[in-house]
Amino acid sequence: MEKITRLANRLSLDGSAKTPEVKPDPNALFSPVVTSHLEEIYASLTASSDVDFAKDIQHETPSTDTETDPLSSLEAFKEYMAGPNASALQPAQKPDLTVPMTDFFISSSHNTYLTGNQLSSDSDASAYTNALLNGCRCVEIDVWDGDLDSDSDSDVSSTSSESSSDDEQTKERKKEKQKKKAETVGRRNTVSKKLNGLLGRKSPPADEPAEEEEKSLGAKARDLGALARELIRKEPKEPKEPAVVPVEEEKSLGAMARELIRPEPKVLHGHTLTKDTTFRDVCHAIRDSAFVKSDLPVIVSLEVHASLEQQETMVEIMEDAWRGMLLEVTPEIEATKAPPPLKKLRRKILIKVKYVAPADDTQGADQEDYTDELEGLQPQPSQGEASVTKTNTNASAPPPKPSKISHALSRLAVFTKGFHFSHFAQPEAKVPGHVFSLSEKAARAAYANDRDALFEHNRRHFMRVYPFGLRVDSSNLDPTFYWRRGAQIVALNWQSLDKGMMLNRGLFAGEEGWVRKPQGYLSTEESSAPVPKVQMDLSIEFIAAQNLPLPPGDTKEKGFHPYVSCYLHVETSNEEPDSPTDDDTTDSEKYSYKRETKSTTGCNPDFKGQKVTFPTMTGIVEDLTFVRFKVKDHELCRDSLAAWACIRLNRLREGYRLIHLYDCAGADSGGAILVGVTKKLDQVSA
């Protein structure tokens, strides 16, 4: 936990380094080329005495406190430009936590446990730590049956992965695994001694461990199981005296024995070469990281492939690891019809899992498996086809199969009950607290079939959209299409830093992982409530940049020729499905909405005031329109990415600003671009 706290202290919510509290010397913060341009800008602004810098240039409300006028001196102007008030990104406003939880977009992760591609990468509990500390509030766990020897398998896989890298992070993981292994051996020996003691046996001397160490963990656990069964057989059927062993000792002994003897669930991407981690480790990672950066709720989306027996183990592990964090399931809570406001869910973990009625523990209709990839590959029928298919199926349906989800697990999902989606007229579409999970292609098909029904459903109920199953490289969909349809949970592959993740950062930058939907999308509004739209004119002058990072793998600044690609992500009249292979030609990134500067040289380039202008756009939803910046290296073949930024239009400030850049790993690069932003917005009738 101490390690997580140290890591969190180095991060802001959007993943950047924290700004030092001590004010630095502004002259030391700017490169010579940026300093030169700031001096020219200051001279031009002070040439006229009637310029109101805050109102006329920066288009912001003048400060009412005792702050120094930025134009009072050159030093004051530089100090202003070096501070947070000059950032191109407007600070996030505090969310209204009194509105229903379905009125928010939620920063969400798909297959959170993976560290790379969807076919052969490692599963690691640390991936949950990284996601949660960077603002994610909905994580996914794929759970499968574990076995008694899974620990040894895990050790082998970790050794093979660690041999390729000897960095500090790998060493830290190795130490953690060795520590856990030592703890497991200690618990095993404790249980063994106590069981042998109860049977009147002597434990092996401490200096004779060779034979014991040769056994696998599974074999040792089976030995303990045999000891426990022998103890039960020798126990008198009608004891005349109370048990000699205190109750507390019996409980702790039983708990330790169960932990060793009974296999525990594991987490991995099924039917692939991905390596697994334990469900317990994942739950502990979530426990330690969930509320470090925010106290707003975390949704844990469970895709369960485990047996009913191991589902019981899942429930025990979650209730133990998340004690005090799990939403307590009471009759009053279960009877709640409307989704609660966020303020009532602070520091709570919500479970999203397939819903099973109480009578379905051993019988009842078995809905199809909750498998992302299979659902993504299934064609989506129209409402009429779905209704006919359902009727015909029921007429000749075989006897119902036993449910694959236990009631003990299912009942943990209160406000996030998972149901399979067929169409918006199905009865489950009106169940309070339900969630429909659709692949990106299934969601587009639902939009094509009945866009109004899709939007109205998402106004009041949760929808989760996840990447198509064939994105094996962990690439991402364009989340803006689904946000504009009102989907609250658009799960992305955080393993890849691509367009989708950049846009996700743009929506949730500086927020706490929950961003309120814009007007016209809210559950408290009538179905006919219009979505406010604007007409927009936007131009950006690129003046200079400083401290640009080199592309990964490059070491020489002399061969670095940076230029800026600027993308405007707006809703188009015919948004086509994403192409997972090309980041720069999908959806809103048509030729009309992409502008570029000419290339220059070095990490502190002078762009000489190059101006890019976008065409007038009508019908823009300001809250769901984004401006994305990519600094690339002009090369003979494919231009490499060096740095980037993404800003929501309603948070893009006008005037002279600094765009702070992230590197290719998503961390604060320390680089920035000096720009002049001109933005004109006019309301248009709905």
* HEC profile of 590-659: CHHHEEECCCCCCCCCEEEEEEEECCCEEEECHHHCEEEEEEEECCCCCCEEEEEEEEEHHHECCEEEEE
Q: What is the pLDDT of residue 552?
A: 96
% of the chain beyond a pLDDT of 90: 62
Q: What is the pLDDT of residues 108-128, one digit of tens each?
A: 999 999 999 999 999 999 999
487, β-bridge pairs: none
- Residue 91, pLDDT > 90, answer yes
H/E stretch holding 156 reads: helix 150-162
Output DSSP code: residue 122: B
Q: Domain check: are 427 and 303 in the same one?
A: yes
- Residue 275, pLDDT > 60, answer yes
Q: Domain check: are 649 and 572 in the same one?
A: yes
CA angle 600, 601, 603 (to 5 degrees): 120
- Residue 516, pLDDT > 50, answer yes
**Residues 602/596, Cβ–Cβ less than 8 Å:** no
| 234 Cβ contact list (under 8 Å, min separation 6) | 199
Residue 257 located in a structural domain:
yes
Output DSSP code: residue 57: I
Q: Average pLDDT of the chain?
A: 82
Count how many Cα atoms sit within 13 Å of the Cα of residue 335 in the half-sphere of its side chain: 3
Least Cα distance to 350 among 138, 141, 517 occurs for: 138
- Residue 189, pLDDT > 80, answer no
Q: What is the pLDDT of residue 157?
A: 36
CA distances to 91, 108, 467, 656 from 64, in Å: 18, 39, 48, 21
Tokens matching residue 198: 């109860």
d(CA 130, CA 7): 9
Q: Domain check: are 598 and 558 in the same one?
A: yes
Work out whether strand 462-466 and strand 434-439 pair parallel, antiparallel, or are unpaired.
parallel
Residue 61 located in a structural domain:
yes
Tokens matching residue 607: 């762009």
Q: What is the pLDDT of residue 82?
A: 96
d(CA 574, CA 577): 10
CA distances to 38, 276, 420, 452, 682 from 355, in Å: 60, 26, 9, 26, 46
Count how many Cα atoms sit within 13 Å of the Cα of residue 588 in the half-sphere of its side chain: 26
Least confident of 159-163, 328-332, 515-519: 159-163
Residue type, 270: G
Least confident of 21-35, 97-111, 430-444, 523-537: 21-35
What is the average per-residue pLDDT within 276-280?
A: 97
Residue 26 located in a structural domain:
no
Q: What is the pLDDT of residue 176?
A: 66
Number of separate domains in the chain: 4
Q: What is the pLDDT of residues 624-654, one digit of tens each?
A: 999 999 999 999 888 999 999 999 999 999 9
d(CA 126, CA 134): 12
Q: What is the pLDDT of residue 391?
A: 40
Residue 5 located in a structural domain:
no
For 354-422, where are the alpha helices, taking DSSP H only? 372-377, 383-395, 407-410
Q: Domain check: are 503 and 547 in the same one?
A: no
**Residues 97/343, Cβ–Cβ less than 8 Å:** yes
Residue 8 located in a structural domain:
no
Task: With both helix axes pointing from N to C terminus, report the angle between 451-460 and 440-449 in degrees, rounded to the nearest 10.
Answer: 120
Q: Domain check: are 131 and 48 in the same one?
A: no
Residue 18 located in a structural domain:
no
The range of the structural domain enclosing residue 575 comes to: 533-684
- Residue 362, pLDDT > 50, answer no
Q: What is the pLDDT of residue 9?
A: 55
- Residue 658, pLDDT > 60, answer yes
Q: Domain check: are 126 and 228 in the same one?
A: no
Coil vs helix vs strand at 267: strand
* Model confidence band, residue 375 (pLDDT cutoffs 50, 70, 90): very low
* Model confidence band, residue 3 (pLDDT cutoffs 50, 70, 90): low
Q: Domain check: are 221 and 142 in the same one?
A: no
- Residue 50, pLDDT > 60, answer yes
Tokens matching residue 94: 């505090």
Q: What is the pLDDT of residues 598-621, one digit of tens each?
A: 999 999 999 999 999 999 999 999
Q: What is the pLDDT of residues 336-358, one digit of tens each?
A: 888 899 999 999 999 999 999 88
| CA 222 to chain centroid | 39
Give the dihedral sign, CA 189/195/200/201.
Answer: negative
* Dihedral pair phi/psi, residue 319, rounded to 5°: -65, -30
What CATH number has the domain bearing residue 585? 2.60.40.150
Dmax over Cα atoms in the chain, in whole Å?
Answer: 102
pLDDT higher for 504 or 193?
504
* Model confidence band, residue 214 (pLDDT cutoffs 50, 70, 90): very low
Q: What is the pLDDT of residue 195?
A: 53
Q: Domain check: are 506 and 542 in the same one?
A: no
Q: What is the pLDDT of residue 648?
A: 98
| 655 Cβ contact list (under 8 Å, min separation 6) | 57, 58, 59, 60, 676, 677
H/E stretch holding 458 reads: helix 451-460
What CATH number has the domain bearing residue 324? 3.20.20.190
Q: Domain check: are 252 and 289 in the same one?
A: no
Output DSSP code: residue 341: B
Q: Domain check: are 574 and 483 in the same one?
A: no
Residue 19 located in a structural domain:
no
Residue 669 located in a structural domain:
yes
Q: What is the pLDDT of residue 671?
A: 98
Q: Domain check: are 253 and 275 in the same one?
A: no
Least confident of 174-178, 257-261, 318-322, 332-336: 257-261
pLDDT higher for 579 or 118?
118
Coil vs helix vs strand at 435: strand
* Model confidence band, residue 571 (pLDDT cutoffs 50, 70, 90): confident
Least confident of 410-414, 432-436, 527-531, 558-562: 527-531
Q: Domain check: are 439 and 480 in the same one?
A: yes
